[in-house]
A and B are shown apart, each in its own frame.
Chain A
Amino acid sequence: MTANKINTRKEILNRSRIIFACVALFGLYLVVSIFRLQHGMEKDFSISQERKNTRVSEQTGIRGNIYAGDGGLLATSVPTYDLLWDSRVNALTDQHFTEKLDSLSYLLARNFKKRNKQEWAAKLIQLRKSGHRYYTLLTDLSFDKIKQVKTWPLIREDKYKGGFWTIEEGKRMYFMGEMAKRAIGYTKNGVNVGLEGAFDSMLKGQTVQIVEQRLPGNIWRPLKVGVGYEAENGKDIVTTLDTRFQDITQYALNKALVQHRADHGCAIVMEVATGQIKAIANLKRGQDGNYYESMNYAVDQFMEPGSTFKIISALALLEDGEATPSDSIATHRGKIKFYDTEFKDDEHNKTIPRTYTLQECVEQSSNVGISQFVDKAYRNKPSEFLSHLEQLGLTLKPNFDIPSSNHPVVLDPNNALWSGVTLPSMSIGYATRLSPLQLLSVYNAIANSGQLMNPYLVKEIRQNGKVINQISPKIINKKICSKRTNKQLQEMLRGVVVRGTAQNAFKECLVDVAGKTGTARIINKNGRGYSNRHMASFVGYFPADKPTYSIIVVVNEPSAGDIYGAGVAAPVFRDIANKIYSAHIRIQPELIAQEKRSNPSPLKGNPNRIIPILDELEIPYNNEDGDSEWVESQNEAGTISLSSISHKSGLVPDFKNMGAREALILANKMGLNARISGYGRVYQQSIKPSTRIHNKIDLTLFLKP
């Protein structure tokens, strides 16, 4: 080896050592840096910055459905989309915006005709000029529409480039029109109305707070996924309402209100044995003269009931042994004075005999008779009379599924307003304020052999189709009076219809009815004295011998002549009773008998909604295409197999066998305006499947169970 070579190697080694020293020093520097970071010795840095990178976002499940007791869908939620725009997003240059403006406004104008192309362009320019960063450009778009919109210039670009993004909203849809609208209700800006309001906490999808982490590129990822970290959908509620009864009731009430030019009215149909509300109608005359559901009178209108109260007076008298139905009392030619106040009997269409029995007092609705009976018996012990009102639950605010916003008024002797006239007034239905529902409950108890039921409107709470809470009938008072008293009361109420004030109204009735008329003068708005306005009512039950349903009809301020309960309200009762009786009692004695199916008939819909149902029913199924959005079930030898179906966009899909909710969601996605008729599953559609969808196509889906 030459000396040169040895020197070469030496130099290489030396130079290498220099480099090694540098590298080793840098390694040491790294160790020191790590140490400094770990001991907070770096300026401009603290661990607290970590917090910037998580956020809590809220996610809400879909609101539950409201069903009628017979399966009809009353309310449901379908997703819709809003398009928002951040007009000043950094990456959107003026040049790029100007380039795309023309084609974007052209497409907007073609699809959203509220503005023409120039106007759309002007709007976008104006938004950008004023620097809007959170502007809702389009609302309530269907899934299909938003998919289309997302292909347009600028909108199709990334949120951080074009500035456009979308949010999903749940839109509530109702299918019964004015029917029971008030009872179904709504929730809006914190105002809670009807069932929607009362059951809001159940219907509402659960809102969960999800901790999300920031990933590079401003993507937010939920930290935890799985059960408990995903928003649960709201529960469905099944009402006791029967869509057919509701239809009948609403129709009959509306007819009478129109005929008598009344201000408003309500009607309730209750199942005697259970207290289930089968129909509830509230109508008020609108500006245009038509009637709309706008106030829940049945629950909220606490007014002096008038003569319908007399049966309660009779109940007290009979039960306390103060009188028998055949005890008689002088009529004083239909006029009597308690202190300064004169009580009168109505003389229209009849002459008043010298005496009335208690039975006749109720049948003929004699103010003079009843008030004397009660005054004589309870003048010195009013609290005994009042104890019957307590027993009937009339002194307390009713515990109903839709809470009342008012409360009943029942005076007692300790009250400053109590006077010598109070008791006689009470006995004929004044000086006390009750709601139609309260009064109906009392009559329902008389029909139900003395058992007072708590009225209710919700019979089941379901989650994912599974019943999680079955609400059973609740008894408030097992016995409001003795069997004998109850029998006598029933005879009195039957007498009203057979011989008394309501005999004309029920001449053409198919079914034997028992009930009581009521005609009350309405107190002046200033609270002093009575006006010339009236409240006509009829409350009772049918069939008289085997009571099945009880009904109350209240018509306020009729203005076409007739003001009497017999002439205004009783015919409504009769119409409802006739239709329910002929259509549903006589023909179908076992109305609620349910057919037990081993397997459900073909289903069609989203597997996420169908599979939980099959699981719940423990029905075996094969899932061939579980990942697709829509599946159809086939029933083969006892097992269900699910196979995927696809819907071509632009063509009307085949809705057959779909439930209302599934059908509406699909229709909405396809950009169809769908209406539902009937309930159950779709068996027919107004436009044939595979028809091309043009702009704004209206489709009716016919459903049957």
Chain B
Amino acid sequence: MTTFKSIFKGDVYIWAIVFILSVMGVLTVYSSTGNLAFAKQQGNTEFFLLRHLGFIVVGLFIMFVVHNIPFKFYSKVSNALLALSVILLGFTLFFGYNINNAQRVIPIFGFTFQPSDMAKVFLVMFIARYLSKKQDEVDNVKVFAKLMGVILLVILPIIPENLSTALVIMATSTILMFIGRIKTKFILALILMGVLAAVSFYGFLKIVDMNKYQNTRLPTWERRIDSFLGKDKSGDSNYQKTQAKIAIATGGFWGKGPGNSTQRNYLPHPYSDFIFAIIVEEYGMLGGMVLIACFIGLIIRALKMVVDSQRSLAALIVLGIAISTSFQALVHMGVSVGKLPVTGLTLPLVSMGGTSILFNSIAFGIMLGISRHIQEEKLKGSTTGPGSVTETSNNDHENA
């Protein structure tokens, strides 16, 4: 145990969550890539298993490396990486590779790279950093406006290709701003604007002639929203929703057992967009509850760190990452149980998808790094006594 702790530093619970998610992901991805293997790899079902396993191993390695990097370092490079993300997003928008009529990936070395996954992590870090720096001016409209400017810079290139990811990033950012003490008035105004924008956007979808936009994402969005509102009973989204519900309904409490899913054959992307449905089908209500507990537990651990840590920057980053990760997970689950419109959101660390795993690993690595830092601080605190508090708060300013 001591050796384990000396290698895997930081919060043990978060490490446990990482392992549970990874194991569940590997099992379910293997079970649900049968069709994909049939279609793309001549039935070589191990291909996707090994690839996913490869990403998980690389992800764990990244986590390990990142959580050992001093927290100062990545808070410095995060801005640069966010800028790079925005450039890549713009690049994808114009030159990206088409999957399911949605341009959202760049092919690199035979893999597909989704810049939105990258942007998400670094945007969260940016917001946390910016807010912790401006804690004294959070009531200032300018601060809010500047922040919104950056957020929109990231979100706008994502919207045309992947509206749901954009919305999740927007929502996460809003939550972060709320936690970061941005005036509630601003937040409410923002939400109001969002609702207005959504309603007018839906109106726009209804008004325009879809025949002219067959090659864009517009018809998909219209169908998905219609389907969610219960207007389109026959469409593809409705089909997916029904199949996901069947998966969940037939899972029972204990599930059908690993590899026994039948709905994996009906659901599109059972290994990513609908992996939660397959998990409930194979591992039952029990499996579902474990996963929900993992993601809620992540926030609990983050809150614990906020209480333990003396610095608002670290606290905000940890909370931001935990909330954005869990928020995405819960939206994914909400889609699977048919409570939210169909989106292409993955379940962090569980779903197949290289970029998603890699950047979630970075995010988890940062959380673990901060928790390591906090633990070491506490350790130091216990040896040096209460005097160390002031020292830490000085560091806080230095970092910010």
Contacts of A45 in B (CB 8 A): 242, 245, 249, 338
Contacts of B243 in A (CB 8 A): 53
A35 CB within 8 Å of chain B = yes
Structural contact, A216 and B268, CB atoms closer than 8 A: yes
Contacts of B211 in A (CB 8 A): 93
Contacts of B339 in A (CB 8 A): 29-30, 33
Q: Among residues 525 to 565 in chain A, which have CB atoms less than 8 Å away from a CB atom of chain B? A: none
A26 CB within 8 Å of chain B = yes
Q: B250, B266, B393: which contacts A1 (Cβ < 8 A)?
A: B393
Q: Among residues 313 to 336 in chain B, which have CB atoms less than 8 Å away from a CB atom of chain A? A: 315-316, 319, 323, 326-327, 330, 333-334
Q: Which residue of A lies closest to B239 (CB)?
A: A216
A99 CB within 8 Å of chain B = no
- A12-B179, A16-B319 known; A27-B296 Cβ under 8 A: yes
A417 to B303 CA separation, bound complex (whole angstroms): 111
| Chain A interface helix/strand/loop/mixed | helix
A49 to B233 CA separation, bound complex (whole angstroms): 13
**Segment at the interface with B among A17-25, A275-283, A507-515:** A17-25
A147 CB within 8 Å of chain B = no
Q: B242, B248, B310: which contacts A34 (Cβ < 8 A)?
A: B248
B271 CB within 8 Å of chain A = no
- A8-B312, A30-B288, A31-B292 known; A38-B248 Cβ under 8 A: yes
B135 CB within 8 Å of chain A = yes
A33 to B277 CA separation, bound complex (whole angstroms): 12
A12 to B312 CA separation, bound complex (whole angstroms): 8
Structural contact, B330 and A23, CB atoms closer than 8 A: yes
A470 to B249 CA separation, bound complex (whole angstroms): 57
A333 CB within 8 Å of chain B = no
A302 to B334 CA separation, bound complex (whole angstroms): 80
A38 to B277 CA separation, bound complex (whole angstroms): 12
A354 CB within 8 Å of chain B = no
A418 to B225 CA separation, bound complex (whole angstroms): 90
- A30-B333, A33-B337 known; A47-B393 Cβ under 8 A: no
Structural contact, B389 and A1, CB atoms closer than 8 A: yes
A50 CB within 8 Å of chain B = yes
User: Using an 8 Å CB-CB cutoff, how does the interface string of B349-365 with A read, 1 for contact, 0 for none?
Assistant: 00000000000000000
**Smallest beta-carbon distance B360→chain A, Å:** 18
- A1-B393, A17-B303, A38-B249 known; A31-B288 Cβ under 8 A: yes
Q: B249, B252, B327, B390: which contacts A23 (Cβ < 8 A)?
A: B327
Structural contact, A37 and B334, CB atoms closer than 8 A: no
A615 CB within 8 Å of chain B = no
A205 to B82 CA separation, bound complex (whole angstroms): 64
Most buried by B among A16, A45, A47: A16
Structural contact, A30 and B330, CB atoms closer than 8 A: yes
Contacts of B35 in A (CB 8 A): 215, 221
A335 CB within 8 Å of chain B = no
| Chain B interface helix/strand/loop/mixed | helix
**Smallest beta-carbon distance A428→chain B, Å:** 75
Contacts of A219 in B (CB 8 A): 39
Structural contact, B280 and A20, CB atoms closer than 8 A: no
- A34-B248, A38-B251 known; A23-B299 Cβ under 8 A: yes
**Smallest beta-carbon distance B76→chain A, Å:** 23
Q: B175, B236, B250, B310: which contacts A47 (Cβ < 8 A)?
A: B250
A35 to B393 CA separation, bound complex (whole angstroms): 48
**Smallest beta-carbon distance A517→chain B, Å:** 71
Q: Which residue of B lies closest to A15 (CB)?
A: B179
Structural contact, B249 and A13, CB atoms closer than 8 A: no
Contacts of A29 in B (CB 8 A): 339
A17 to B175 CA separation, bound complex (whole angstroms): 12
Structural contact, B289 and A20, CB atoms closer than 8 A: no
Contacts of A27 in B (CB 8 A): 292-293, 295-296, 330
A5 CB within 8 Å of chain B = yes
User: Using an 8 Å CB-CB cutoff, how does the interface string of B268-284 with A read, 1 for contact, 0 for none?
Assistant: 10000000000010000
Q: Which residue of A lies closest to B339 (CB)?
A: A33
Structural contact, A38 and B252, CB atoms closer than 8 A: yes
Structural contact, B266 and A19, CB atoms closer than 8 A: no
Structural contact, B306 and A16, CB atoms closer than 8 A: yes
Structural contact, B242 and A49, CB atoms closer than 8 A: yes
Q: A38, A42, A221: which contacts B265 (Cβ < 8 A)?
A: A221
Contacts of A123 in B (CB 8 A): none
A616 CB within 8 Å of chain B = no
Structural contact, B323 and A23, CB atoms closer than 8 A: yes
**Smallest beta-carbon distance B352→chain A, Å:** 16
Structural contact, A16 and B179, CB atoms closer than 8 A: yes
User: Using an 8 Å CB-CB cutoff, how does the interface string of B226-270 with A read, 1 for contact, 0 for none?
Assistant: 000000000010011011011011111100000000000111100
B111 CB within 8 Å of chain A = no
Contacts of A221 in B (CB 8 A): 35, 38, 265
A221 to B43 CA separation, bound complex (whole angstroms): 12
Structural contact, A13 and B306, CB atoms closer than 8 A: yes
**Smallest beta-carbon distance A5→chain B, Å:** 7
**Smallest beta-carbon distance A79→chain B, Å:** 23
- A19-B179, A24-B296, A38-B251 known; A53-B303 Cβ under 8 A: no
Contacts of A12 in B (CB 8 A): 179-181, 306, 312, 315-316, 319
B300 CB within 8 Å of chain A = yes
Structural contact, B300 and A20, CB atoms closer than 8 A: yes
Contacts of B242 in A (CB 8 A): 45, 49
The 30 listed contacts between A and B (C-beta, < 8 Å) are: A8-B312, A9-B306, A12-B312, A16-B306, A19-B178, A23-B299, A24-B299, A26-B334, A27-B293, A27-B296, A30-B288, A30-B292, A30-B339, A31-B292, A34-B285, A34-B288, A37-B245, A37-B338, A38-B248, A38-B251, A38-B285, A40-B249, A49-B242, A53-B243, A53-B266, A215-B35, A216-B239, A216-B266, A217-B268, A221-B38
The 4 closest A-B pairs by CB, nearest first: A216-B268, A33-B337, A37-B249, A27-B292
Other A-B contacts than A16-B319, A30-B333, A34-B280, 20 sampled, CB-CB below 8 A, are A5-B393, A9-B306, A12-B179, A15-B178, A15-B179, A16-B302, A19-B175, A19-B323, A20-B303, A23-B296, A23-B326, A27-B296, A33-B337, A38-B249, A38-B285, A45-B245, A45-B338, A93-B211, A216-B236, A223-B265
